[in-house]
Amino acid sequence: MGIFVKVGIKLPETITEEELISILKATKLKHHRIAFALGFYQGMRISEIVNLKKENIDKSQRIIRIKDAKGHKDRNLPIAPQVFRGLTSIPIHCGIRALQIAFKKKGKEVLNRDLHFHLLRHSGATHYLKKGWNIREVQQFLGHSRLETTQIYTHVSPQDLMEKMWG
């Protein structure tokens, strides 16, 4: 992954895990909390979240099976510890637009920022890179065919680079 970004290309906005936790704490509805957590920790698209069924979750193997995702691909995701208990709220019985509105409202209320649901996926990818995953692992996790697509989803701040360079 290159560290230089072409001029004029806007990096996707992200939130930190701490900011997500603040949003989750302020969210009363369980199905909204699990949907937000699935977007961040599982890197799931909103359509994958609203279509997730109990039979797609294998708690014994700790796997979520995404069936017929974007590009008609299937993928298996290891269940993040942060979402494991919340999976009892699946299916979430909530539509795409309702989730978009709920997340936007919480983003404004908690962080005073204009956030969109898909940024959870960007943020999760960035979170895992910072935890030490390599770009290929994140690519597979997100279900991208092309590495270039994954690179767009990941955000490396100038501060991150300074910390790497200067320790």
Asked whether 78 and 63 are in contact (CB, 8 A), the reply is yes
Among 121, 122, 127, 155, the active-site one is 121
144 is catalytic: yes
CA count, 13 A, side-chain hemisphere, 3:
8
75 is catalytic: no
Rounded to the nearest 10 degrees, the angle between the axes of helix 17-26 and helix 96-106 is 100
Among 67, 75, 104, 118, the active-site one is 118
97 is catalytic: no
70 is catalytic: yes
121 is catalytic: yes
Among 31, 45, 122, 155, the active-site one is 45
Which tokens belong to 36? 């937000």
Among 53, 59, 70, 105, the active-site one is 70
> In a 3-state reduction of DSSP, which class is residue 55?
helix
Among 32, 106, 127, 144, the active-site one is 144
H/E element, 74: none
Does residue 78 have a cis peptide bond before it, meaning omega lies within 30 degrees of 0? no
Q: What is the DSSP string of 99-148?
A: HHHHHHHHIIIII-S---TTHHHHHHHHHHHHTT--HHHHHHHHT-SSHH
136 is catalytic: no
Among 33, 127, 153, 155, the active-site one is 153
Give me the active site residues, please. Answer: 45, 70, 118, 121, 144, 153
